[in-house]
Amino acid sequence: MRHSRIASLFLLAASLLLAADGDWQSEGVVSVAHSPYAKLHAVPIHAVKMGDGFWSARRATNVEKSIPTLLAELEQHGVVANFLRLEGKKDVPRRGPLYTDSDLYKWMEAVAFVLQSGDQPKLRAEFDRLTGIILAAQEPSGYLNTYWTEERTPKRFTEMYRSHELYCIGHLIQAAIAYYRATGDRKLLDGGIRFANYMVENFGPQKRPALTGHPEFEMALVELYRTTGDRRYLDFAGYLLSGVERERLHLTADQITYLFSGKPFTSRTEFEGHAVRAMYASSGATDYYMETGDPAYLKTLETLWRDLVNGKMYITGGVGSREAGEAFGEAYELPNAQAYGESCAAIGNMMWNWRMLLALGESRFADVMERALYNGINSGMSLSGTLYCYRNPLESSGEKIRNEWYDTTCCPPNLERILASLPGYLYSTGPKGVYVNLFHTSTLDWHLENGTGIRIAQQTEYPWKGAVDLTVDPAHAAEFSLFVRIPAWSDGTTVGVKVPAPFSTRQDTPKAGEYFEIHRRWKPGDKMHIEFEMKPRLVRANPLVREDAGRVALECGPLVYCLEQPDQPGFNLFDAALLDDGTGFVSAFQPDLLGGIMVLKHRGSVVDRPFSSEPLYRPFREQFERPGTVVALTFIPYYAWANREPSRMEVWVPYTTVGTE
Compute the least distance from the CB of residue 43 to its own copies, in Å. 31
Compute the least distance from the CB of residue 308 to its own copies, in Å. 9
CB nearer its own copies, residue 207 or residue 546? 546
629: phi then psi, degrees, rounded to nearest 5: -80, 140
Compute the least distance from the CB of residue 658 to its own copies, in Å. 14
Compute the least distance from the CB of residue 563 to its own copies, in Å. 15
CB nearer its own copies, residue 44 or residue 318? 318
Cis previous bond, 543, omega within 30: no
Pairing of strands 659-660, 628-637: parallel
Q: CA 41, 45, 383 angle in degrees (round to 5)?
A: 120
Compute the least distance from the CB of residue 316 to its own copies, in Å. 11
DSSP 86: G
Which spans of this chain sit near its own copies (rule: CB under 8 A)? 309-311, 313, 315, 322-324, 329-333, 335-338, 395, 397, 537-547, 549-553, 574, 611-612, 614-622, 624-625, 654
Compute the least distance from the CB of residue 464 to its own copies, in Å. 22
CB nearer its own copies, residue 32 or residue 308? 308
Helix/strand/coil (H/E/C) assignment for every residue in 144-176: CCCCCCHHHHHHCCCCCCCCCHHHHHHHHHHHH
Query: Strand, helix or coil at 599?
Result: strand
DSSP string, 231-282: HHHHHHHHHHHHT--TTTTT--HHHHHHHT-SS-GGG--S--SBHHHHHHHH
Compute the least distance from the CB of residue 584 to its own copies, in Å. 12
Strand partners, 482: 434, 518
CB nearer its own copies, residue 88 or residue 615? 615
CA distances to 58, 110, 132, 435, 589 from 53, in Å: 10, 21, 37, 20, 14
- Alpha helices, H only, 329-373: 343-360, 363-371
CB nearer its own copies, residue 167 or residue 258? 258
- Sequence-separated (6 or more) residues with CB below 8 Å from residue 252: none
Compute the least distance from the CB of residue 625 to its own copies, in Å. 6
Pairing of strands 433-436, 478-486: parallel
CB nearer its own copies, residue 570 or residue 619? 619
- Report CA Rg, the chain: 25
Query: Strand, helix or coil at 596?
Result: coil
CB nearer its own copies, residue 44 or residue 311? 311
CB nearer its own copies, residue 333 or residue 445? 333
CA distances to 222, 323, 326, 345 from 338, in Å: 36, 8, 11, 15
Compute the least distance from the CB of residue 333 to its own copies, in Å. 7
CB nearer its own copies, residue 474 or residue 654? 654
Q: How many CB atoms lie within 10 A of CB 629?
A: 16
Residue from 53, 49, 177, 163 nearest 105 by CA = 177
Compute the least distance from the CB of residue 657 to its own copies, in Å. 12
Tell me the CB-side half-sphere exposure of residue 6, using CA atoms within 13 A.
8
CB nearer its own copies, residue 478 or residue 488? 488
Q: Are 557 and 532 in contact (CB under 8 A)?
A: yes
- Is residue 80 classed exposed, middle or buried when 0-12, 13-18 and 19+ CB atoms within 10 A define those classes? buried
Distance of alpha carbon 585 from the chain centroid: 31
Residue from 515, 461, 506, 507 nearest 487 by CA = 515
CB nearer its own copies, residue 596 or residue 646? 646
Compute the least distance from the CB of residue 562 to its own copies, in Å. 15
CB nearer its own copies, residue 267 or residue 542? 542
Compute the least distance from the CB of residue 270 to its own copies, in Å. 13
- Sequence-separated (6 or more) residues with CB below 8 Å from residue 653: 551, 552, 553, 554, 563, 576, 577, 578, 633
Compute the least distance from the CB of residue 300 to its own copies, in Å. 20
CB nearer its own copies, residue 359 or residue 541? 541
Give the separation between CA 575 and CA 607, rounded to whole angstroms: 6
Q: Are 116 and 182 in contact (CB under 8 A)?
A: yes
Compute the least distance from the CB of residue 45 to its own copies, in Å. 32
CB nearer its own copies, residue 193 or residue 394? 394
Query: Strand, helix or coil at 193?
Result: helix
CB nearer its own copies, residue 30 or residue 327? 327
Give the separation between CA 446 and CA 456, rounded to whole angstroms: 9
Q: Are 177 and 189 in contact (CB under 8 A)?
A: yes
Compute the least distance from the CB of residue 310 to its own copies, in Å. 5
Distance of alpha carbon 53 from the chain centroid: 20
